[in-house]
Amino acid sequence: MQRRRKRLFIVIGSLVGVVVLLATGVIVYARWRFDQIPKVSVAGLTARVGNDPFTVLLVGSDSRAFVSTAAQASQFGSAAAQTGQRSDVIILARVAPALGEVQLMSIPRDTYVDIPGNVANVSGDNRINTAFNSGPTLLVQTIEKSFHLQINDYAEVNFPGFQGMVNAVGGIGLDFAYPVRDAYSDLNIPTTGCQLVSGAQALALVRSRHLYYYENGTWQEDYGSDWSRIQRQDAFFRALLPKLRTITTNPGALNSFLGAATKNIAIDETISESELLGLARSLSGLSAGHFTSETLPTIPFTDSAGQDVLSPAPGPDEAMIKQFLAFGTSAAGASGSALGSNASPIKLTAATVAGSGTTVTTVGGSSDPSGVVYNTMPEAWNPKPCTPK
């Protein structure tokens, strides 16, 4: 499983970055940039209601349709070798405009669900990311059917422009406890500590499929798979947010960032310019302290074809989704954790073994007989946001 992820989700960073930067008041410029954002038709979306909280599906696509040069083919793979598209990153963002806050809930791409319809090699029991091969509509339908929640808006991002967006903000600050590398993605962070990470290395980090970290004189493999990469997504976004706000008074950097972002994101055609600008105003004060992030609990198991996949965990999932949908409303309460009062967070360790729903996940001397994995504790080798000197 840990070999299959191909890129980081930057949709939330680029999309929220766009709306925050549009809040600078340059309306004519904002309208020009809005017109440049590709719009896609997505059936099944639910209309927003006033200023109520709403849910945005944020997708990172692994499509290689853009590849047109030998350099791009070398870095990302050719369209012929990497056919179709899958949603390598799936995040639901619950936006509470009245609070100016956002809650993120990641769905691991290998979550095994019943995909509706009659699409050959897609519909039926399958990994949720394959639903995107037929476009965003089937992915929306799959999420709504599997997890019983409504989606109001949609946004996606592709590989191109990522480096330009990171470089436009002058790089991001990340603190590495261990040197890390990946020969496949060209990742190479040889030193530890808080440092400025450029677009090329940020892209290599979040696309890493074979990450190794150096500890006790040897290179050790990141066994965290989807869970570890989701934690890196969280660190990336928290590092990006403060940098976005620093370029609002720099016209050159602002233009470079928006130019890279608008060429490589797409939004559903129901999002109007006024809605996007209104969201920008309500979220203009957004900072890393104004959003929370969680991962849908899952159970590792092996399907009938011998493939390692993840089964939804009905009880824990229901508890998390219930609180996710209550975010920003009076029903949210003050409990804080969406795991539910009876859930015990588990730190994923190398002792986790794929099997059926009866797998035991060990944590030191304790265990959870249900096999449910809660992605609540970041691995020590993953970087944390920081402010380089």
How are beta strands 172-176 and 384-385 bridged, if at all?
antiparallel
What is the widest separation between alpha-carbon atoms in the chain? 61
**326 confidence band (pLDDT: 50, 70, 90):** very high
The average pLDDT across 97-107 equals: 88
| Residue 304 burial by Cβ neighbours in a 10 Å radius (0-12, 13-18, 19+) | exposed
Q: What is the pLDDT of residues 43-94, one digit of tens each?
A: 999 999 988 999 999 887 544 444 445 554 555 554 454 444 445 678 899 9
93 in Cβ contact with 104 (< 8 Å): yes
pLDDT of 376 reads 76
109 in Cβ contact with 233 (< 8 Å): no
Cα separation, 191 vs 320, in Å, equals 38
**386 confidence band (pLDDT: 50, 70, 90):** very high
Cα separation, 94 vs 328, in Å, equals 9
Lowest mean pLDDT among 171-185, 297-311, 330-344: 330-344
pLDDT of 207 reads 78
Lowest mean pLDDT among 9-18, 43-52, 284-293: 9-18
| pLDDT of 335 strictly over 90 | no
Cα separation, 338 vs 323, in Å, equals 6
Question: Which of 157, 150, 152 minimizes the C-alpha distance to 132?
Answer: 157
**147 confidence band (pLDDT: 50, 70, 90):** very high
The average pLDDT across 14-25 equals: 51
| pLDDT of 268 strictly over 70 | yes
What percentage of the chain reaches a pLDDT higher than 90?
A: 29
Instruction: Give pairs for 240-243: CB < 8 Å, separation 24+.
Output: 240/13, 240/17, 240/166, 240/169, 240/172, 241/13, 241/16, 241/286, 241/287, 241/288, 242/287, 242/288, 242/387, 243/169, 243/170, 243/171, 243/172, 243/173
The average pLDDT across 268-291 equals: 74
Question: Which of 373, 308, 312, 332 minimizes the C-alpha distance to 4?
Answer: 308
Cα separation, 6 vs 89, in Å, equals 9
pLDDT of 114 reads 93
DSSP labels, 143-193 = HHHHH-----EEEEE-STTHHHHHHHTT-EEEEESS-EEETTTTEEE-S-E
- For the chain, the structural domain boundaries read 11-385
Cα separation, 130 vs 168, in Å, equals 33
The average pLDDT across 289-304 equals: 84
Lowest mean pLDDT among 28-37, 88-97, 177-186: 28-37
Phi, psi of 356, deg, nearest 5: -85, -170
pLDDT of 71 reads 55
Tell me how far CA of residue 246 lies from CA of 113, 143, 254, in angstroms. 42, 36, 10
| pLDDT of 363 strictly over 70 | no
Question: Which of 377, 374, 291, 292 minimizes the C-alpha distance to 340?
Answer: 374
Residues 6+ apart with CB under 8 A from 178: 192, 213, 214, 215, 380, 381
Fold adopted by 11-385: Aminopeptidase (3.40.630)
164 in Cβ contact with 253 (< 8 Å): no
pLDDT of 120 reads 92
Count CB-CB contacts under 10 A for residue 313: 21
pLDDT of 67 reads 43
**283 confidence band (pLDDT: 50, 70, 90):** low
Q: What is the pLDDT of residues 206-234, one digit of tens each?
A: 878 789 999 999 999 988 777 888 888 88
Average pLDDT score over the chain: 76
Cα 62 to its chain centre, rounded Å, is 13
The average pLDDT across 365-371 equals: 48
Cα separation, 78 vs 68, in Å, equals 8
**18 confidence band (pLDDT: 50, 70, 90):** low
